């Protein structure tokens, strides 16, 4: 094959491999709606882009310098009818796109409770979402299950078709929890709590990782998200329980020491206050004043100083 | 600083021999090459006795044409550095599969993507557009110079020393590893204690200052120095986009200055603006930096769109279609561009309505942008399209930009951006625009205005090759990157050690091949410059108007005399020069008067070098040096205000001689 043929084929190979890209073939209802939105917007814009691409090539060729048969009107530079089309078409497309933008900003808001499990399946009334507290550490992920009382590192699971409520924070720098098959990503930030609501529809193992650069170990800061049947999920929890280990503030501080490529491990018990103190930035014997105390001082017109022993007036 | 840090050396601060990375072979080789090239350049300048010439005619020059050219030369040199970084990243990502760590450790790789981003934005794209604006605007509006010639020179030297600072970090210490916008807490004192972030902050601070100064100058120039009759609605589109851009610069760069200053205070003096503890708020930095960052994106793209408008009209042999639409489109992009910044962090956890609002505003900006594309399209319609190199860049842009616009709109839909944000899809999008719109436009601009600047054309053969290789290279390099993004690969990834993503290696291999194809585009451009300079006699243009163009800069000689126009032109229509040609304009050949011109000054370079020394000293905590250089800097700046001898007159007979020489050349044309 001639070299330029090979070069022409390269992008094709790339495009073909898009066919099984995870964002286009997700397994959770939120991600499915995000995918549909992407495709809808693409189709909408294709209405202008395809003709414009075609006309660009056509005009450039037809009105080429050497084609003296083509009409030449050097002074023609205005046409009200054309101007109306030129402004009108994008306006109409953006109206449609804008409506989709606004509604999906609300329906797919990560803070919003999941209301449907699948396109034609609403969440049964009274369903409680599975709570998962997420802490981004340098450079691994800690998942705490407050209801089950277990915790895991770089490994997370949820039963299929049950809404999940992630609450996220971070230990030191910003990260983002990203699970494309499930629902995309949300930042995890120190001293701050964000949320992500989602549901997984198909059992399987999905890639999860940090998608906000957080330093040297960033590339290896990934984990597996398992969608499991209810029975398998219970077994997974029981396995964690069987380890007999406990995550309290002392073990947490050890865990928080920066490390790379941390293997999966699990804790049978978790200090129920741990997540709150991480979020409050005063785990264990921390010299820092808890953020909540500082805020309370500020509200009391306190001086906002950060030493616990400074009295507010 | 914690109490157990050793006391600082009074002279060298924290700078020790360990800061020189002589154990890293890549850097040692780079240093050897740079040093050899430097010695060679110094030797050549001395041998040909060019120092005096350089100093008088370029370094201290306040001529906007010379300054514009210096900006562009700086940008081309930095493009080579930025591209080298890109190739290194592409190689690393192509091999770091199946358990391989690649050849770059994190400490090195993370500096490379940061340096690449910073260099490409601040020291390639920005100097290119500022340089082109500097060269073109006064000529297009019929002015003899800019409003503030000394500030113009100072602005250039500030940008240049900031670029030097970034490159010094390569050999003394390290550069930031925190990405091109450097968001804390990652770039705070706790997570990044080294000098890398300090180099980054000072480079941005100084180049930002240079850009603001340049922006004020060009804004004033366009508003105050237009030729008689050149009302706003007759202004060439490139000047319109430049007007908007410089307004954007003046309004937005102060936000960068604030963000960078506060982060510097956090790092130097332990304030807590952006720390996670002690009541600081890192999200404030993210907002500040993007309130600047989004307008910055338009600062780079608007002049590019202006260039395409000029080129499309000239090489279609026709007036631009829909001039008024174009103006309104430009102005609305400028205004709306200020209320979209949050689309850079939909995923930071703001509420649905906030995200929705910024998503809508971003969608809104797509309308005027789309209108512009139609206008270029209908400029070709019923024209006579000449496929000269600038027009080839333009057509390539019109096709490439469609994809970049599409993917940009996708990223602006908040719900979709929860998937696309920070993925390689985003990287694909912004390179689609950075390369397909900005770089292509600047290549077109260089090709288009080169004959004006130097009096001879660029050899088209190598130029056309450059168009093809850049275009094909872009698609081969970035289509796979889009796909990798859709496959869930995030940006700034150094190694792919997750077993489930091993099948993606082929994408990165293709992307690396694409990067090499684009590299050939750069090489062919450099070859084009070299070949054209060698064949300059054959490529000589004595008409001053080689393209049969339409705007005022083509009415004067190539290169234009120092004073641009012997008589200030009077404008009657859009495309003043086309109008003058159509009405059978003849050049006046007598009645010349002395011309008042600004005098050269060394203050720009002296002040900038002092600032460079000061910032280097602060980065390394060399407080003594910092104090002395700062005091000297103040002295120089104050001293300059006492210099009243700032202008001179070019005598009428010199003007007459220059103009009659041009008359003679024009007559030779027949
Ligand atoms: C063919 C030419 C180019 C190639 C091959 C290239 C390649 C790359 C690569 C591999 C990355 C890192 C992506 C990642 O984070 O995984 C990157 C980042 C980036 N590039 Fe380029 N690039 C090119 C040209 C440009 C140009 C012309 C500009 C701007 C005018 C630019 C601006 C940036 C920026 C701002 C970043 C982000 C840096 C960061 O993550 O902080 N690049 N580029
Ligand atoms: Cu933006």
pLDDT at B239 over 60: yes
Say yes or no: A161 and A278 in one domain. yes
State the CATH number of the domain containing residue A160: 2.60.40.420
Pairing of strands A265-267, A269-270: unpaired
**Length of chain A in residues, anyone?**
313
Same domain, A174 and A98: no
Are the CB atoms for B251 and B287 separated by under 8 Å?
no
More reliable by pLDDT, B666 or B380? B380
When CB atoms are compared, the residue of B379, B476, B486 closest to A24 is B486
Chain B CB within 8 Å of residue A253 CB: no
Residue A9 in this model has a pLDDT that exceeds 90: no
Q: Residue A139 domain-assigned?
A: yes
Chain A interface disruption, residue of B266, B370, B397, B428, most A CBs within 10 A: B370
Q: Which of B311, B287, B276 lies closest to B441 in space, CA to CA? A: B311
pLDDT at residue B327, rounded to an integer:
96
Contact B156, B71 (CB under 8 A): yes
HEC-encoded secondary structure of B125-146: HHHHHHHHHHHHHHHHCCCCCC
Distance CA B562, CA A129 (A): 74
Closest C-alpha among B433, B414, B432 to residue B342: B414
Return phi, psi of residue A184, to 5°.
Answer: 85, -140
For A212, phi then psi, to 5°, come to -135, 120
Q: Domain ranges in chain B?
A: 50-601+646-669
Lookup result for tokens 């501080």: A253
Q: Which residue has the tokens 């000689």?
A: B557
Q: Which residues of B touch A186 (CB under 8 A)?
A: 347, 349, 418
Query: What pLDDT is stored for residue A309 in this prediction?
Result: 47
Regarding whether A175 and A249 lie in a shared domain, the answer is yes
User: At residue A165, what are phi and psi to the nearest 5 degrees?
Assistant: -120, 105
Give the confidence band of A312 by pLDDT, cuts at 50, 70, 90: very low
Task: Confirm or reject contact between A44 and chain B (CB < 8 A).
Answer: no
CA dihedral B605, B607, B613, B616 (to 10 degrees): -100
User: Taking a C-beta distance cutoff of 8 angstroms, is the pair B414, A104 a contact?
Assistant: yes
Rounded to whole angstroms, the Cα distance separating B514 from B474 reads 6
Q: Which residue has the higher pLDDT, B199 or A306?
A: B199
Q: How far apart are CA B65 and CA B133, in angstroms?
A: 10
B558 CA: distance to closest CA in chain A (Å): 25
Q: What's the pLDDT score for residue A24?
A: 94
pLDDT digits over B467-493, tens only? 999 999 999 999 999 999 999 999 999
pLDDT, residue B2, reads 45
Q: What's residue B312's pLDDT? A: 96
Whether A221 is covered by a domain: the verdict is yes
* Mean pLDDT score, A185-199: 96
Q: What distance in Å separates the CA atoms of residue B67 and residue A300, rounded to the nearest whole number?
A: 58
Evaluate if residue B245 carries a pLDDT over 90. Answer: yes
Separation CA A93–CA A100 (nearest Å): 11
pLDDT-derived band at B8 (thresholds 50, 70, 90) equals confident
Compute the average pLDDT of residues B427-454: 97
Tally of CB atoms within 10 A around B462:
20
Judge whether A253 lies within some domain: yes
Determine the structural domain holding residue A170 and report its residue range: 118-289
pLDDT of A238 > 70? The answer is: yes
**What is the rounded CA–CA span in Å between residue B193 and residue B73?**
34
Domains of chain A: total = 2
B120 CA → ligand 1 middle, Å: 8
Under an 8 A CB cutoff, do A215 and B186 touch?
yes
DSSP label of B593:
-
**Domain presence at residue A297:** no
Q: Do B276 and A214 touch (CB under 8 A)?
A: no
Of B431, B321, B434, B311, which Cα lies nearest the Cα of B371?
B321
The answer, yes or no, to whether residue A10 has pLDDT greater than 60, is yes
A273 shares a domain with A138: yes
> B595: helix, coil or strand?
strand
Q: Pick the closest to residue B438 from B171, B241, B194, B180 (CA basis).
A: B241
What is the CATH class of B50-601+646-669?
Answer: mainly alpha
- Residue window 477-536, chain B: list those with CB within 8 Å of chain A: 479-480, 482-483, 485-488, 490-498, 500-501, 504, 506-507, 510, 513-514, 517
A183 in contact with B, Cβ within 8 Å: yes
- The region that residue B137 occupies, defined by phi over 0 for left and psi between -120 and 50 for alpha, beta otherwise, is alpha
Distance from C-alpha of B487 to C-alpha of B423, rounded to nearest angstrom = 9
A158 vs A224: CA distance, rounded Å: 11
Nearest by Cα to B587 from B546, B551, B544, B649 = B544
Residues 6+ apart with CB under 8 A from B123: B74, B75, B78, B82, B159, B162, B163, B166, B207
Which residues on A lie below 8 Å from B381 (Cβ)? Answer: 59, 63
Phi, psi of A27 (to 5 degrees): -125, 5
pLDDT at B468: 97
Q: What is the DSSP letter of A266?
A: E
Asked if residue A148 belongs to a domain, the reply is yes
Of all ligands present, the nearest one to the C-alpha of B342 is: 2
**Nearest atom (ligand 1) to Cα of B518:** 1
In a domain, A6, yes or no: no
Distance from CA of A134 to the nearest CA of B (A): 15
Residues A184 and A40 in one domain: no
Chain-chain contact of A176 with B347 (C-beta, under 8 angstroms): yes
Within 6 A (CB) of ligand 1 lie B 86, 89-90, 113-114, 116-117, 120-121, 124-125, 179-180, 427, 431, 434-435, 438-439, 477, 491-493, 515, 518
pLDDT at B655 over 70: yes
Average pLDDT of the segment spanning B79-93 = 96
**Low-confidence winner among A5-9, A213-217, A270-274, B504-508 (lowest mean pLDDT):** A5-9
Q: Alpha-carbon distance A28 to A184, whole Å?
A: 10
B351-369: per-residue pLDDT in tens? 999 999 999 999 999 999 9
The predicted pLDDT at position B456 comes to 96
**pLDDT surpassing 50 at residue B240:** yes
Position A154 pLDDT exceeds 70? yes
Q: Which of A11, A13, A174 sits opposite B282 (nearest CB)?
A: A174
Please indicate if any CB of chain A lies within 8 Å of the CB of B177: yes
* Ligand number, closest to the Cα atom of B117: 1
Q: CB–CB of B497 and A65 under 8 A? A: no
* In the predicted structure, residue B4 carries a pLDDT above the cut 60: no
Distance, in Å, from the CA atom of B33 to the CA atom of A79, rounded to the nearest integer, reads 58
Q: State the smallest CA–CA distance between residue B621 and chain A in angstroms.
A: 24
Residues A183/A31, Cβ–Cβ less than 8 Å: yes
Q: How many residues does chain B have?
A: 670
Whether B374 contacts chain A with CB within 8 A: yes
Phi and psi of B75, rounded to 5°?
-65, -40
Cα(B241)–Cα(A299) distance, rounded to whole angstroms?
Answer: 48
Same domain? For A93 and A220 the reply is: no
CA angle B406, B411, B413 (to 5 degrees): 105
Please write the tens of the pLDDT for every residue from A295-305. Answer: 888 887 655 45
Q: Are both A160 and A279 inside the same structural domain?
A: yes
For residues A180 and A205, membership in a common domain is answered with yes
Identify the three-state secondary structure at position B277. coil
Provide the mean pLDDT of chain B.
Answer: 94
Contacts of A45 in chain B (CB under 8 A): 405-406, 409
**Checking DSSP bridges between strand A150-153 and strand A140-145, what pairing results, if any?**
antiparallel
A264 contact B CB<8A: no
Quick check: B321 and A73 CB within 8 A? no
Chain A partners of B496 at a C-beta cutoff of 8 Å?
219
A302 interface with B at CB cutoff 8 Å? no
Residue A107 tokens, joined:
């329906």
Name residue B51's beta-bridge partners: none
Residue whose C-alpha is closest to residue A157's, from A266, A46, A291: A266
Q: What is the pLDDT of residue A134?
A: 98
Which is nearest to A279 in space by CA: A141, A169, A119? A169
A288 pLDDT band, cuts 50/70/90, is confident
DSSP assignment, residue B124? I
The pLDDT tens digits for B9-39 are 888 888 888 888 888 888 888 888 888 888 9
Neighboring chain B residues of A75 at a CB cutoff of 8 Å: 318-319
DSSP string over B29-72: HHHHHHHHHHHHHHHHHHHTT-HHHIIIIIIT---HHHHHHHHH
How many helices (H) and strands (E) would you count in chain B?
Answer: 22, 2
Percentage of the residues of chain A whose pLDDT score is greater than 70 = 90
Contact B106, B191 (CB under 8 A): no
- The pLDDT of residue A310 is above 50: no
Binding-face residues of A in 61-80 toward B, CB within 8 A = 63-65, 70-79
Closest by Cβ to B367, choosing from A59, A94, A215: A94
CATH code, domain with A101: 1.10.287
Q: State yes or no: pLDDT of B591 exceeds 70.
A: yes
Q: Is the pLDDT of residue A105 over 50?
A: yes
Provide the greatest CA pair distance for chain A: 90
Residue B500: band (very low, low, confident or very high) from pLDDT cuts 50, 70, 90: confident
- Which B residues 230-259 touch A at CB under 8 Å? none
| Contact (Cβ atoms closer than 8 angstroms) between residue A97 and residue A39 | no
Per-residue pLDDT at B274: 96
CA B390 to chain centre: 19
DSSP B489-519: -BTT------GGGGGGHHHHHHHHHHHHHHH
Residue-level pLDDT at B9:
83
Q: Same domain, yes or no, for A175 and A35?
A: no
> Which pTM was predicted?
0.94
Cα gap A59→B395, rounded to integer Å: 10
CA B320 to each of CA B99, B245, B382, B387: distance values in angstroms, whole numbers, following the listed order: 56, 20, 12, 17
In chain A, the residue whose alpha carbon lies closest to the alpha carbon of B364 is A94
Query: By CA distance, what is B422's nearest residue in A?
Result: A211
What band does A311 get if pLDDT is binned at 50, 70 and 90?
Answer: very low
pLDDT of residue A313: 35
Residues A187 and A220 in one domain: yes
Same domain, A44 and A149: no
Residue whose C-alpha is closest to residue B282's, from A212, A142, A183, A108: A212
User: Is the minimum CB–CB distance between B110 and chain A shorter than 8 Å?
Assistant: yes
ipTM: 0.93
The answer to the question of residue A9 being in a domain is no
Q: Which helix (H) or strand (E) holds B603?
A: helix B603-619
CB-nearest partner of A281 from B276, B366, B422: B276
pLDDT, tens only, B288-333: 999 999 999 999 999 999 999 999 999 999 999 999 999 999 999 9
Tell me: pLDDT of A16 over 90.
no
- A168: in domain: yes
**Same domain membership, residue A285 and residue A142:** yes
């Amino acid at each position: 094959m001639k070299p330029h043929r090979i070069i022409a084929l390269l992008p094709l190979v790339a495009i073909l491999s898009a066919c099984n890209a995870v964002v286009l073939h997700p397994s959770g209802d939120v991600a499915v709606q995000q995918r549909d939105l992407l495709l809808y917007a693409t189709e909408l814009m294709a209405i202008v882009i395809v003709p414009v691409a075609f006309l660009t090539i056509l005009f450039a060729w037809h009105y080429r310098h050497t084609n003296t048969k083509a009409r030449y009107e050097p002074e023609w530079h205005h046409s009200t009818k054309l101007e109306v089309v030129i402004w009108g078409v994008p306006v109409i497309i953006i109206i449609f796109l804008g409506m989709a933008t606004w509604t999906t900003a609300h329906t797919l808001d990560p803070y919003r409770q999941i209301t449907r499990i699948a396109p034609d399946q609403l969440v049964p009334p009274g369903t409680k979402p599975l709570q998962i507290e997420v802490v981004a550490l340098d450079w691994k992920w800690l998942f705490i299950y407050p209801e089950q009382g277990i915790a895991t590192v770089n490994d997370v699971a949820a039963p299929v078709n049950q809404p999940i409520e992630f609450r996220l924070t971070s230990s030191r720098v910003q990260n983002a929890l990203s699970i494309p098959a499930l629902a995309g990503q949300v930042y995890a930030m120190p001293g701050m709590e964000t949320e992500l609501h989602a549901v997984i529809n198909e059992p399987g193992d999905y890639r999860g990782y940090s998608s906000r650069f957080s330093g040297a170990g960033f590339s290896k800061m990934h984990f597996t998200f398992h969608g499991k049947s209810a029975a398998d999920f219970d077994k997974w929890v029981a396995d964690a329980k069987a380890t007999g280990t406990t995550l309290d503030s002392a073990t947490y501080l050890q865990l928080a020491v920066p490390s790379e490529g941390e293997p999966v491990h699990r804790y049978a018990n978790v200090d129920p206050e741990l997540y709150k103190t991480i979020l409050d930035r005063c785990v264990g014997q921390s010299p820092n004043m808890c953020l909540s105390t500082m805020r309370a001082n500020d509200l009391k017109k306190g001086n906002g100083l950060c030493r616990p022993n400074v009295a507010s007036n | 600083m914690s109490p157990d840090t050793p006391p600082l050396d009074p002279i060298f601060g924290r700078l020790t021999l360990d800061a020189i990375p002589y154990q890293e072979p890549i850097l040692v080789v780079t240093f050897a090459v740079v040093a050899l090239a430097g010695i060679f350049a110094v030797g050549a300048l001395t041998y040909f006795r060019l120092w005096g010439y350089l100093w008088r005619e370029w370094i201290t020059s306040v001529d906007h044409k010379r300054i514009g050219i210096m900006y562009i030369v700086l940008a081309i040199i930095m493009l080579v550095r930025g591209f080298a970084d890109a190739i290194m990243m592409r190689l690393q990502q192509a091999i770091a599969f199946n358990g391989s760590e690649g050849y770059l450790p994190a400490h090195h790789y993370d500096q490379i993507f940061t340096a690449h981003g910073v260099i490409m934005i601040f020291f390639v794209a920005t100097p290119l557009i500022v340089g082109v604006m500097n060269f073109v605007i006064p000529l297009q509006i019929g002015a003899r110079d800019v409003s503030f010639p000394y500030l113009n020179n100072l602005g250039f030297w500030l940008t240049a020393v900031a670029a030097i600072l970034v490159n010094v970090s390569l050999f003394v210490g390290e550069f930031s590893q925190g990405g091109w916008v450097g968001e804390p807490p990652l770039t705070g004192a706790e997570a990044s204690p080294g000098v890398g972030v300090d180099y980054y902050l000072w480079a941005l601070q100084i180049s930002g200052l240079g850009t603001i100064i340049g922006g004020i100058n060009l804004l004033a120039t366009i508003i105050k120095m237009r030729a008689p009759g050149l009302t706003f609605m007759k202004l060439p589109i490139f000047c319109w986009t430049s007007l908007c851009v410089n307004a954007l610069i003046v309004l937005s760069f102060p936000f960068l200055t604030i963000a960078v200053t506060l982060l510097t205070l956090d790092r130097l003096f332990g304030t807590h603006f952006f720390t996670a503890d002690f009541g600081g708020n890192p999200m404030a930095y993210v907002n500040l930096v993007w309130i600047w960052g989004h307008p910055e994106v338009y600062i780079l793209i608007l002049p590019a769109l202006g260039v395409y408008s000029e080129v499309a009209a000239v090489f279609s042999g026709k007036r631009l279609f829909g001039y008024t639409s174009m103006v309104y489109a430009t102005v609305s992009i400028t205004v709306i561009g200020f209320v979209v910044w949050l689309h850079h962090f939909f995923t930071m956890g703001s509420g649905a309505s906030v995200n929705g609002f910024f998503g809508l505003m971003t969608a809104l900006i797509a309308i005027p942008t789309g209108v512009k594309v139609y206008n270029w399209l209908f400029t070709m319609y019923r024209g006579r399209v000449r496929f000269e190199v600038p027009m080839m860049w333009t057509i390539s842009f019109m096709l490439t930009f469609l994809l970049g616009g599409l993917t940009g709109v996708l990223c602006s839909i908040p719900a979709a951006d929860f998937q696309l944000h920070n993925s390689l899809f985003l990287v694909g999008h912004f390179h689609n625009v950075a390369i397909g719109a900005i770089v292509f436009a600047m290549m077109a601009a260089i090709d288009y205005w080169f004959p004006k600047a130097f009096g001879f054309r660029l050899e088209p053969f190598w130029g056309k090759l450059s168009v093809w290789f850049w275009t094909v290279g872009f698609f081969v390099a970035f289509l796979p990157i889009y796909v990798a993004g859709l496959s869930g690969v995030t940006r700034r990834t150094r190694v792919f050690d997750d077993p489930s993503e091993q099948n993606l290696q082929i994408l990165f291999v293709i992307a690396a091949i694409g990067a090499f194809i684009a590299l050939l585009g750069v090489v062919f451009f450099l070859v084009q410059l070299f070949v054209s300079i060698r064949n300059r006699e054959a490529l000589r243009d004595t008409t001053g108007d080689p393209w049969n163009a339409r705007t005022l800069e083509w009415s004067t000689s190539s290169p234009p005399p120092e004073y641009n126009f012997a008589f200030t032109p009077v404008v009657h229509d859009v495309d003043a020069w086309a109008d003058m040609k159509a009405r059978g304009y003849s050049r006046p050949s007598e009645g010349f008067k002395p011309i008042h011109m600004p005098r050269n000054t060394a203050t720009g370079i002296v002040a900038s070098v002092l600032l460079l020394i000061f910032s280097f000293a602060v980065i390394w905590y060399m407080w003594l040096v910092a104090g002395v250089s700062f005091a000297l800097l103040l002295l120089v700046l104050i001293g300059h205000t006492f210099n009243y001898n700032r202008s001179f007159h070019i005598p009428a007979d010199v003007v007459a001689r220059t103009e009659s020489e041009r008359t003679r050349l024009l007559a030779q044309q027949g």
